[in-house]
Amino acid sequence: MTNTPLERNPSTGDRIDFSGRTAVVTGGGARGDGIGNGRATAILLARAGAEVVVVDRSEEVGRGTVEMIESEGGAARLFLGDVTSEEDCAALAAFAREGSAPPTVLINNVGIGAPGTVLDTEPDLWDLVMKVNVRSMVQVSRALIPSMQEAGGGSIVNISSISAIRPKGLTPYSASKGAVVSLTRAMAVDHAGDGIRVNVVLPGPVWTPMVQRPTMTPEIRERRKNSSALRIEGTGWDIGRAVVFLASEHARYITGQALVVDGGVTVLSPVR
């Protein structure tokens, strides 16, 4: 027997706990009753006790997430806005501060897909993808980091994609998601002294409303599923749980890291 006391968080008993904290999730809505990465993350943060600010540019889908959280007894508020707008980001910061605690958790989840190569991508589409997928994260972070600095710390999780490291036919998207990984590492260095951790999750081909388009046939869905080493289909919940872990105190010694959540798609040898 050792006399070393076993470490345990006295207030949470070592459960992931966000009680008394405000968490902002961008792109927290999802179509209908679908479970996207943002919606799942928002619901899981609320279940862990956070007051969640669901940010979406669509009232219908954002409200859906707020209602789901409230139906479980959680706390959530909808901020209707476009994260590519500087004005909306400033308004979001003010809105988030009106909660019961300053915002100290930020999940930068908004992202749009875009097919193409450097040869056939129109410059305007290239700029749009970089604006939505990268600049928006810079803007929302700039708006919310001062609250975290004042509170003595915080946690930011950015959402990239395995397209950043395994590109295939989505060059503007892949480039933007690669930038999100580098942005994360740079932000982690910049803000470590403020007690702010910054990490990034790279989801694999998960089944969310984002990919449920008319071109998504049952055969393609099956191929996506079987592309993983585990041969199971990932969901928004799988992404949300990884995000919640990185955002939580359980990850207090982790910053600047990229966590791939893909059922092992990217560890497989290309020769099978």
Ligand X SMILES: NC(=O)c1ccc[n+]([C@@H]2O[C@H](COP(=O)([O-])OP(=O)(O)OC[C@H]3O[C@@H](n4cnc5c(N)ncnc54)[C@H](O)[C@@H]3O)[C@@H](O)[C@H]2O)c1
Residue selected from 23, 43, 61, 170 as contacting ligand X according to rule CB under 6 A: 61
Closest approach, Cβ 113 to ligand X, in A, equals: 7
Token digits for 138? 């810079």
Choices 15-23, 137-145, 206-214, 264-272; region in contact with ligand X by CB under 6 A: 206-214
Stretch that binds ligand X, among 10-18, 96-104, 201-209, 245-253 (CB under 6 A): 201-209
**Residue 193 DSSP symbol:** G
Contact between 38 and ligand X per CB under 6 A: yes
Angstrom CA distances, 265 to 4, 39, 122, 234, stand at 41, 23, 30, 11
- Applying CB under 6 A, among 203, 247, 251, 263 the residue interacting with ligand X is 203
110 binds ligand X (CB under 6 A): yes
Residue from 161, 174, 199, 255 touching ligand X (CB under 6 A): that is: 161
Q: Candidates 52-60, 96-104, 117-125, 192-200 — which segment interacts with ligand X by CB under 6 A?
A: 52-60
Q: Contact between 111 and ligand X (CB under 6 A)?
A: yes
How far apart (Å, rounded) are the C-alpha atoms in residues 54 and 156?
A: 15
CA distance linking residue 247 with residue 21, whole number of Å: 12
106 makes contact with ligand X (CB under 6 A): no
Torsion of CA 166, 84, 23, 153, to 10 degrees: 90
- 262 part of the interface to ligand X, by CB under 6 A: no
Supply the DSSP symbol for 112.
-
DSSP label at 157?
E
**Of the candidate residues 84, 149, 235, 266, the single one contacting ligand X (CB under 6 A):** 84
Q: How many CB atoms lie within 10 A of CB 100?
A: 9
Stretch that binds ligand X, among 6-14, 121-129, 200-208, 253-261 (CB under 6 A): 200-208
- The 8 Å CB, 24+ separation contacts for 251-255 are 251/155, 251/197, 251/199, 252/197, 254/197, 254/199, 255/188, 255/192, 255/197, 255/198, 255/199
- 37 touching ligand X, by CB under 6 A: yes
Give the other-Cβ count within 10 Å of 238's Cβ: 20
Reported in sequence order, the residue ranges of the chain that DSSP labels E, i.e. its strands, are: 22-26, 51-56, 75-80, 103-108, 154-159, 196-203, 258-261
Give me the phi and psi of 52, to 5 degrees please. Answer: -105, 130
Q: According to CB under 6 A, which one of 50, 52, 54, 83 is a site residue for ligand X?
A: 83
* 263 is a contact residue toward ligand X (CB under 6 A): no
Member of 16, 22, 24, 27 binding ligand X (CB under 6 A): 27
User: Could you identify the residue written with the tokens 């470490």?
Assistant: 7
- Smallest gap, in angstroms, from Cβ of residue 266 to ligand X? 12
Active site positions, annotated: 173
Residue 210 in the binding site for ligand X (CB under 6 A): yes
User: Is residue 238 at the binding interface for ligand X, with CB under 6 A as the rule?
Assistant: no
Residues 119-158 touching ligand X, rule: CB under 6 A, are: 132
| Site residues for ligand X per CB under 6 A | 27, 29-30, 36-38, 55-58, 61, 82-84, 109-111, 132, 159, 161, 203, 205-206, 208-211, 236
